[in-house]
Chain A
Amino acid sequence: MTSPVPTVQAKAPSQGAFAFLFAAKLDRWRLAAFAIALLIVVPLAVVLASFLSPEREIWRHLAEHVLPGLLANTFKMVFGVAAGVTLLGVSLAWLTAACDFPGRKFFSWALLLPLAVPAYVTAFVFVSWLDFTGPVQTWLRAAFGSSAWFPPIRSGGGVVLVMTLALYPYVYLLARNAFLTQGRSAMEAAQSMGCSRTEGFFRVALPMARPWIMGGLMLALMETLADFGTVAVFNYDTFTTAIYKTWFGLFSLSGASQLASVLVLLVFALILLEQLTRSRLRYTQSGRHSQSERIRLAGWRGGLASGFAATVLLTAFVLPVGQLVLWSARVFTQDFDERYLGFLWHSLSLGAIAAGLTVACALILAYAQRRHADSWTRIAVRIATLGYAVPGPVLAVGIFIPLAWLDNQLIHLSKTLLGHDPGLLLQGTLLVMLPAYLTRFLAVGYNPVESAMQRITRNLDEAARTFGVTGLQMLRRVHLPMLRGGLLSATALVFVDVMKEMPITLMTRPFGWDTLAVRIFEMTSEGEWERAALPAVALVLAGLLPIALLIRHTETRS
């Protein structure tokens, strides 16, 4: 990519020419970042443009009868999930990154596994176990009579429980990365000033991991806010419920888009606020890369740690997936055929290509921001990562509309110029699917990359520059090797998320080109949840692949 720069003559490189060359080089990154942001802003703008057609009556109705309850529900859910994923994610990250207890090595990767299970599937399993008709309550009634009480699973508490179990890995993965790369001297400095390691955790390790924890938390919360599938299983009404009701029930996509815009603006404000509060802080790695000796948890404390990790793993992954396996065994002979190989291949290849592209763009954004920390670049980056906060189906339409327009223009052009109707060119090709996934998942790829980038001190860039290593070369020779962990995390997360994704895949896939997620949709759309277990299990198995890659990396490091 680096075009050969005309060699500057040693004698008299005029100051102006040199500065221009330099600036041109810098601008390439910024331009690329702006281009990516622009690509992503189009669907967002389509969603925002809904305000051009006011839906006063709908808004009045929603404000009076729907929104008050939904907002209360949404806040409950968001706070619950935020507390839950932080608690689980950070504590497990600390235990596996800084402590030693029986089974630590196993848990340190196994705790990522819940990522591979779509949250709505976990939700369905939990509801079928714990609702009135499920085995648990049935047994309780048999044992203690029909008045036996059990907390209702289809409630705010149930939603928070399932969402927490499904989404904690985001926080876990990023926080663990932070703890592993924190270096030992900060913690030792705290100890030398009279802090025990426990105190040191709260006063030093935890606040120093803040950007990472916040990054993971943001991902979890954006997914929570935009979720519809999971809450629908609980029939728990949240803000997205109003969006869907407006669209599908009241036939008003513009009303739904307006609601979705409110959601996006809210998330945007949240992100800016978080950025603002840490604008003066820097989190480069301090100290030798060596890690402190692990805190050995022996005896009952070790048992407690193992027990805790095992409980989380069991409830978030082993038991739900076990149930899915049982269900799919029942329908296996009826539903399984050679087409599954195709579904699997489609899911995996889509996931891999989309992950590659998304992480590459995330890298460009992170790098552009590193080089140009001005507010324009920063805002561009922030906008580029907003797609994750838009409910999937709304975003899918936002992507589809400009795309169909482009296709129609191409057809028009071809007809007038060539007198030939080529049919839709873009639709149903990867040329469409990939940007669509990029729009949705750039945030997922960006957060791990950006936080890894923060670890690299700027002195390094300057040192590299003195050797004449700049631009793409600096990225490749200096940053990439140091970013490996962050890049791998990002790739695995996007990979798995793309494979789980439903609305965009449904709307943009080529004819007859089905994935495992599409398969799940086919089954669940008529309520056949147990038949959906088969593609769900296949999806989980496929998701293990990227996670295994990630694991291999973290294992070599810890």
Chain B
Amino acid sequence: MTTPQCPLPVHGATQLELKGISYAYNSQPVVRNLSLRLKQGDIGCLLGPSGCGKTTVLRAIAGFENIAAGSIELAGETVSRAGYTLPPEKRRVGMVFQDHALFPHLSVARNIAFGLKDWGKAEHEERVETLLKMVGMPNTGSKYPHELSGGQQQRVALARALAPCPSLLLLDEPFSSLDVDLRERIGQEVREILKTQGTTALLVTHDQFEAFAIADEIGVMNEGEIQQWDSAYNLYHRPANRFVADFVGEGALMPGVVLDERHVETELGAIAGEVPLECGAGCQVDVLLRPDDILHDDASTLQAEVANKAFRGADILYTLLLPSGRKVLSLVPSHHNHAIGEKIGIRLAVDHVVTFRR
């Protein structure tokens, strides 16, 4: 069987580059001096709260918005700069929309074939079949969008966007309309599909788990700027600033004083670990404590009162009240079931201490 294939990508080449782009709406800056770069085959993600400008960046890359400064390059070609915007239809950029935007008047097969303008008829059908199989929905080509479930619509939207072999795929909150269960599963599937195709992709979301599930690299955005561009692990464990620390993952900030490059003194005692040299000894800092940094230990002398608890299956996330009145979070295997108001022993287990100067 000869399957119509997309041209083989060249690995390692820069596929998308944003150089200091800015965008304003009604003279209100929405995106400020933002840069990022994706190599061929990379899956990137812009993560941030709503209104942070992430969708605008995506739409600017697709060509739906005109940027006020900077430039956007696709495979080395400048497609947007101040005063120039290559029309979206000439960019070979695929897009998956938040609401899927499937054409209600076309069957699934014809939705997918929509962008296959220069393909022969036989190739058409083959490509559609291949894609339907790829997204795990063979033999559904004759259905209409409203006859599909949300997850199925999502897959069709992906297949449709991939059909014309875009040089870059943009996904705008693609899973937000799916239920949480489906979200993660389909996220994984999408990642696999993109990886086997070698498709470069940029995802926009406010949901960190979605971002973690799909992306290689994630940029956390706030107020039109990228706060940190990094891997999921680093965003969680080495957040660059308070915003990232707060937005990604859970945790609490606790005041402390730097003792030396391996110790910080807090009300829970001295925390041992690598302290980034933001300031020297005696410096006042806030220490980020993730729920997994605080372990439950019945033997510990350090006691805290259970203020709240959230059952998470394998674990329970406890909100603990320290004697000082400060609250911290602790993730504890769920067979350690304690009632609210009960006092339990805790212990610190930190290997890399994240501090922010006060």
Contact = CB atoms under 8 A, between A and B. Distances in A.
A196 B86 CA distance: 12
B103 A192 contact: no
B105 interface: yes
Nearest to B62: A192
A251 B64 CA distance: 67
Interface stretch (A229-237, A281-289, A437-445): A281-289
Contacts of B101: 185-186, 188-189, 286-287
B150 to A, nearest CB: 10
A190 B144 contact: no
Nearest to A192: B95
A188 B105 contact: no
Contact of A282 (B92, B99, B144, B164): B144
Which bucket holds chain B's interface residue count? 35 or more
Contact of A208 (B62, B105, B161): B105
B62 A188 contact: yes
A286 B102 contact: yes
A207 interface: yes
Interface in B145-191: 145-147, 160-161, 163-164, 166, 170
Given A188-B64, A210-B105, A283-B104, A194 B87 contact: no
A542 B219 CA distance: 61
Interface string B330-357: 0000000000000000000000000000
B163 to A, nearest CB: 8
Given A208-B105, A281-B105, A282-B146, A193 B97 contact: no
B104 A191 contact: no
A210 to B, nearest CB: 7
* Interface SS majority for chain B: loop
Contacts of A186: 101, 103
Contact of B160 (A185, A193, A197, A284): A193
Dominant SS among interface residues on chain A: helix
Contact of A192 (B93, B98, B100, B117): B93
A192 B63 CA distance: 9
A194 B115 contact: yes
B114 A193 contact: yes
A280 interface: yes
Interface string A183-209: 001101111111111011001100110
B88 A281 contact: no
A196 B115 CA distance: 11
Give the residue among A190, A191, A203, A288 with the most B Cβ atoms within 10 A.
Answer: A191
B94 A192 contact: yes
Contacts of A188: 62, 64, 88, 95, 97, 101
B144 A280 contact: yes
Interface string A153-192: 0000000000000000000000000000000011011111
Given A192-B161, A193-B164, A284 B104 contact: yes
Interface string B69-106: 00000000000000000011111111101111111111
Contacts of A191: 63-64, 87-89
B357 to A, nearest CB: 41
B87 A193 contact: no
Given A208-B104, A280-B144, A282-B144, A194 B92 contact: yes
Contacts, number: 87
A193 B144 contact: no
Interface string B125-151: 000000000000000000011110000
A281 B64 contact: no
A207 B105 contact: yes
A194 B89 contact: yes
A502 B356 CA distance: 82
A120 to B, nearest CB: 37
Contacts of A193: 89, 94, 114-115, 160-161, 163-164
A252 to B, nearest CB: 47
A281 B104 contact: yes
A282 B160 CA distance: 19
Contacts of B97: 185, 188-189, 287
A203 B117 CA distance: 12
A280 B107 CA distance: 10
Contact of B89 (A195, A207, A286, A287): A195
B50 to A, nearest CB: 13
Nearest to B169: A192
Contacts of A283: 104-105
A102 B102 CA distance: 33
A199 B114 CA distance: 12
A210 B105 CA distance: 9
Contacts of B160: 189, 193
A194 B144 contact: no
B88 A192 contact: yes
Contacts of B88: 188, 191-192
B194 to A, nearest CB: 16
Contacts of A189: 95, 97, 101, 103, 160
B99 A194 contact: no
A194 B117 contact: yes
Contacts of B103: 186, 189-190, 204, 207-208
Interface centre among A189, A197, A284 (most CB of B within 10 A): A189
A199 B90 CA distance: 13
Interface in A340-383: none
A194 B164 contact: yes
Nearest to B90: A194
A286 B99 contact: yes
Contacts of B93: 192
A286 B104 contact: yes
A32 B64 CA distance: 47
A278 to B, nearest CB: 8
B16 to A, nearest CB: 15
A219 B89 CA distance: 37
Nearest to A194: B89
Contacts of B114: 190, 193, 203
A149 B97 CA distance: 59
A286 B90 CA distance: 24
Interface in A7-47: none
Contacts of A194: 89-90, 92, 115, 117, 164
A186 B106 CA distance: 12
Nearest to A280: B144
A189 B161 CA distance: 8
A281 B89 CA distance: 27
A189 B98 CA distance: 11
A414 to B, nearest CB: 56
A319 B140 CA distance: 56
8 smallest beta-carbon distances between A and B, as pairs: A193-B115, A185-B101, A192-B95, A282-B146, A191-B88, A189-B101, A207-B105, A185-B97
Given A190-B114, A193-B163, 16 more contacts: A185-B98, A189-B101, A191-B63, A191-B87, A191-B88, A192-B88, A193-B160, A194-B115, A194-B117, A194-B164, A196-B89, A199-B89, A200-B89, A281-B144, A286-B101, A286-B102
Interface of A: 185-186, 188-197, 199-200, 203-204, 207-208, 210, 280-284, 286-288
13 contacts: A185-B97, A189-B103, A195-B89, A195-B115, A199-B89, A203-B114, A207-B105, A207-B106, A281-B105, A281-B144, A282-B145, A283-B105, A288-B99
